[in-house]
Structures are given as structure tokens and as C-alpha cells.
A and B are shown apart, each in its own frame.
Chain A
Amino acid sequence: QSALTQSASVSGSPGQSITISCTGTSSDIGSYNYVSWYQQHPGKAPKLIIYDVTKRPSGVSNRFSGSKSGNTASLTISGLQADDEADYYCSSYTSSNTLDWVFGGGTKLTVL
């Protein structure tokens, strides 16, 4: 059981937009603006695509955007492309006394 809750899968057609949500608690997403999103293609290492809720690292397409409301963070991918098909993980810093960072269970994005 992951600390952050994500839907298991989402799908969309090329050119469409999709949103992946990530629900946490007042101890993590609700308390900190240290929410990040990672893209992971099969057999590859994760890649940071959003950090500090809304910021994009250099080189990441502006088709990726992040937001947060209360205990829920969201990743929106616009203009879906075939290469966007991957697993997406959210993560948040946490005030838990047992660990510093928590992840979601991941969402599999299928581009139809």
C-alpha cells in the first residue's frame, strides 16, 4: 500500500489531454510544496518532469504541467504523443517520523 494514492491507469488519444491525480494527506501534499512527478519508461530509470508542484526541469516539454489543491496534486499532459506512454509516479516530502519522502503507486498511461 503506497502512501500516496494514484489511479492505476489512464488512457488518451494522440493530441488529447489527460490528468493524473495523486492524493495524500495533511502530512505530505497538504503541508508542503515539495511535490514532484516522474516519468518512467519500461526498463528505464525514472525521469523528473515536475518539481515543487509546478516547476519543470530544463528540457522538459511545456506539455507537462502540475498543480495542487489541498491534499491532492495533479499532473496534466496536453497534446498527448506516443512517447508519453509510460508509468508516472508522484512523490511528496512528508513530515512523517518514519521517512522523508513518499511515492504514489504509479499510473500507467496508455496512448491509444
Chain B
Amino acid sequence: QVQLVQSGAEVKKPGASVKVSCKASGYTFTVYYMHWVRQAPGRGLEWMGWINPNSGGSNFAQKFQGRVTMTRDTSINTAYMELSSLRSDDSAVYYCARGLTTVMAAATGSFDDWGQGTLVTVSS
């Protein structure tokens, strides 16, 4: 079965960076888009962007442009999301989620399988 296992909780100071990992198993990693979605405490879901694990290409929500980097290591079936210049309002649970569509098509598919989430706390 599909499993997405994320790295553990992080505490960061304002201005620092955080890198969250998402290790995939149970399917061919390079076939499906990987999305990142975050959820601030007590708030709703917010789409951040996606990476094409096959090509390494990515697309981000404009509000994260310049601060987010999405990468992958196909040798260990792992996707990464790095967010820099952290602010207090970046405190959230960050999820990776596998897209329903394959990378041969547009990234219009919903988010099928989700990681368990990684809590990132930004505090001085």
C-alpha cells in the first residue's frame, strides 16, 4: 500500500529555514506528482506547490515564490520541501500528498495519499 512518511517536528527561529522530507513507498515514486499542503493551528488547508519527481520540475503558489524550494532524491524515493525566511505565521503542520494524476498529464488530480504531517513551530 502507498505510504508517505515525513520527518519529525521542528522548532525554528524567525528568519531560519526548515527542510521537511517525505519518503514514499508502495508505488513508483517518479510516476505521480507530489504536492505540499500546510495547515496552521486551528485553520484550514493551504496548497503550497508540487514537484514532478521524474523531471524535478516544480510549481508553487505565488505567495511562496522566492521562499520555497521543492526537490527530490529518486534514489531513496524521497521528496523535500524547504521553506526559508521563516515567520511566526509559517507555524503549521506541513503535509506531503501524492497527486492522483501521473506526471504524463497536467497536475490537475486531487491529493490521494497523505503523509502524517510535520509540525513546524517558528518562535523566538
- Interface, chain A (partner B; CB < 8 A): 2, 32, 34, 36, 38, 45-48, 51-52, 57, 89, 91, 93, 97-106
A38 touches B108 (CB 8 A): no
Indicate if the CB atoms of A48 and B112 lie closer than 8 Å: yes
| Contacting pair B114 A89 (CB below 8 A) | no
Q: Quick one: CB contact mask for B32-66 with A, threshold 8 Å, 1 for yes?
A: 00010100000011110110000000010111000
Task: Verify A100–B61 contact, CB threshold 8 A.
Answer: yes
Binary CB contact string for chain B from 94 to 110 against chain A (1 if under 8 A, 0 otherwise):
01010010000001111
Find the A residue at minimum CB distance from B95.
Answer: A45
Interface residues of B in 66-80 (CB under 8 A from A): none
Task: For B108, give its contact among A32, A48, A57, A98 (CB under 8 Å).
Answer: A32
